[in-house]
Amino acid sequence: MADIPLPPGFTAQKMDQARKAFEAALGADKVFFEDIDRLGYSDKFAIDDDAHHPSGAIGPTSVEEIQAAVKIANQYRLPLWPISRGKNFGYGTAAPELAGSVVMDLSGMKKIEFDPVNGVATLEPGVGFYDLYDYLQKNDLPFWLSTPGNSWGSVIGNALDRGVGYTPYGENTKFLCGLEVVLPTGELVRTGMGAFEGAPTWGLYPFGFGPAWDQMFVQSNFGIVTKANMWLMPEPESLMGMDVEFDRPEDLKAMVDTIGPLRREGLLRQSPSIGNWLRAASILTTRDEWTDKPGALSDDVIDAIRKKFNIGWWGVSLRLYGREDMNKAAYKVLEREIGAIKPMLVKPASWVKGQPIERSAITGTPMTFPLQNANWYGGRGGHIGFSPILPQDGDKALAQFQRTYARYKEYGMDYQGSFAFGERHLINVNAMIIDKDNAEKMAKIDTFFRALVADAKANGYGEYRTHLDYMDLVARTYDWNDNALRKLNETVKNALDPNGILAPGKSGIWPKDLAGERKQ
Ligand code: ADP
């Protein structure tokens, strides 16, 4: 990395002055502008290795230091990109949207406070899932986390990018209850009941009085979250359910049409995720153990892999959480409904408090093993996610899968897909596994991704989250009434952040002076 990337309008000299101002305010040990730092804060799974490099990073460890850094950023009109722990693999890792921005790394802020009666954790951004898990274990607190497939990251960071877990608290962002935020102009605000001096209900009632703003700071660039209350699930008395495998791609329809109603009526309260065979196999084996043929895997190879590991084309883990008596009654319904759609394999699971526990996402145990899928092709691996939102409708889910699978074949990619249930929707996460050492395949990813976005758009499906490269593309698909939502977002942006210093380009929201940076 020869040249230091600079934001528009910056000279190396001006950047040097800004760096010195950060050093004076925070101390040189919290300012990182070496080549190795720029590399450390780059996107490890980048499709285009030249995009999104920061000019450097700073690591404030208090609200006052954040405010001091924000003041400097305003003085120099220097874009800052806040991250909590920066493990957002597949969506940009720690890197900023706009090259030359300075990453504000909050991973040094690791304070945890806990209300053991209500199960409310008050967290700073640097608290990772492992930190919080250790804290609960050490203090013998009977509460469970809701962990994502890569739990290396921050609890707040995940909720702020709408990451999901698998327990009844799987939609993590819904369990935020009151934030503390440094605004782009440096003011400190608390949302919800936190606005009421001394209220004991900050972490209990999410709305406060008047407009409720928590979600305004989620997937946005309107503020730097310095603290958040999160509800944790009380440890249930029992767990019952089953791991189920289905044999054919077409079985997706019946799975969605059976699980969807159970989810909507509340018999199933968790967020189950239907995953295809490669989601399971990519952490157990690598492609070269099966074939050296380029192009998407043939059905023969897929069958051989499935046979070896005894996995279905699709699999799903279903669990009931709560009182044992209730779970036993609900299990009968689950068993009957799932049995009626002819699974290939059912592995019942049950647990009662006091017994040895299943250490997986089902029990909110932090994990990183799903990252192993980056090794599927060999070489320098990675993945990006294409993730449209669908209704809980079997025909529509199957059609979306078939369309997507056909595109994967057309572009010679092995298909890894999943369908995660919310209360009324599905998030269809498709992992595009990459090998950065395969130049020929890497050159196709951009066109492939854009084709998938266009297919989804044509069917009315928008993405829930996307990689830095595609934030403008996805924002453009949210186009009702001449992109009225984007205009609202940017009116708010310009009011709150007149100098456009905070995360320009995040979620396709650009401040007025950088509007020219919007990409096709
Ligand atoms: P994780 O470490 O959990 O993977 P990240 O720190 O990578 O999470 O955060 C994901 C995204 O969420 C970031 O790229 C950033 O846009 C946003 N974000 C994270 N932390 C904050 C924060 N404290 N304030 C505002 N936005 C944040």
Measured between alpha carbons, how far is 348 from 241 in angstroms, rounded to an integer?
6
pLDDT, one tens digit per residue, over 165-202 is 999 999 999 999 999 999 999 999 999 999 999 999 99
Average pLDDT over residues 294-300: 96
403 is catalytic: no
Q: Is the CB of 126 under 6 A from ligand 1?
A: no
Specify whether the CB–CB gap between 52 and 96 falls below 8 A.
yes
SS3 19: helix
| Cβ proximity of 462 and 89 under 8 Å | no
Distance of CA 88 from the midpoint of ligand 1 (Å)? 8
pLDDT one-digit tens code per residue, 385-415: 999 999 999 999 999 999 999 999 999 999 9
Q: Is 465 a catalytic residue?
A: yes
Q: Is the CB of 86 under 6 A from ligand 1?
A: yes
Query: Is 54 a pocket residue for ligand 1 (Cβ < 6 Å)?
Result: no
The pLDDT mean for the chain works out to 97
Query: Alpha carbon of 392 to those of 90, 226, 263, 270, 350: distances in Å?
Result: 25, 35, 10, 15, 27
Cα–Cα dist 504/511, whole Å: 6
Distance CA 260, CA 395 (A): 12
Closest by alpha carbon to 230, among 138, 159, 154, 136?
159
- Ligand 1 center from residue 109 Cα (angstroms): 13
Q: Which residue in 321, 465, 470, 486 is the catalytic one?
A: 465
Judge if the beta carbon of residue 153 lies within 6 A of ligand 1.
Answer: yes
| Cβ of 106 below 6 Å from ligand 1 | yes
CA of 173 to the centre of ligand 1 (A): 12
Among the residues of 161-238, which ranges form H helices? none
Q: Where are the beta strands (DSSP E) in 299-415?
A: 314-322, 345-352, 381-386, 389-391
Task: Report the atom number in ligand 1 closest to the C-alpha of 91.
Answer: 14
Cα of 118 from ligand 1 centre, angstroms: 26
Which residues contact residue 412 at a Cβ distance below 8 angstroms, ignoring those fewer than 6 apart?
294, 295, 296, 441, 444
pLDDT tens per residue, range 66-98: 999 999 999 999 999 999 999 999 999 999 999
Protein residue whose Cα sits closest to atom 1 of ligand 1: 153
Owner of token pair 């040094």: 108
Instruction: Indicate the helix (H) or strand (E) that contains 54.
Output: none
pLDDT, tens only, 309-335: 999 999 999 999 999 999 999 999 999
Q: How far apart are CA 406 and CA 392, in angstroms?
A: 21
* Residue 1's pLDDT band (cuts 50, 70, 90): very low
Contact 66, 182 (CB under 8 A): yes
Tokens of 72: 């400097």
Cα gap 104→22, rounded to integer Å = 11
**Is the sign of the CA dihedral 98, 102, 103, 109 positive or negative?**
negative
Which pTM value belongs to this model?
A: 0.97
Q: Which of 263, 187, 173, 169 is nearest to 218 (CA)?
A: 173
Residue 50 is predicted with a pLDDT of 87
Q: Is 225 in the pocket of ligand 1 (CB under 6 A)?
A: yes
Active site residue 470: no
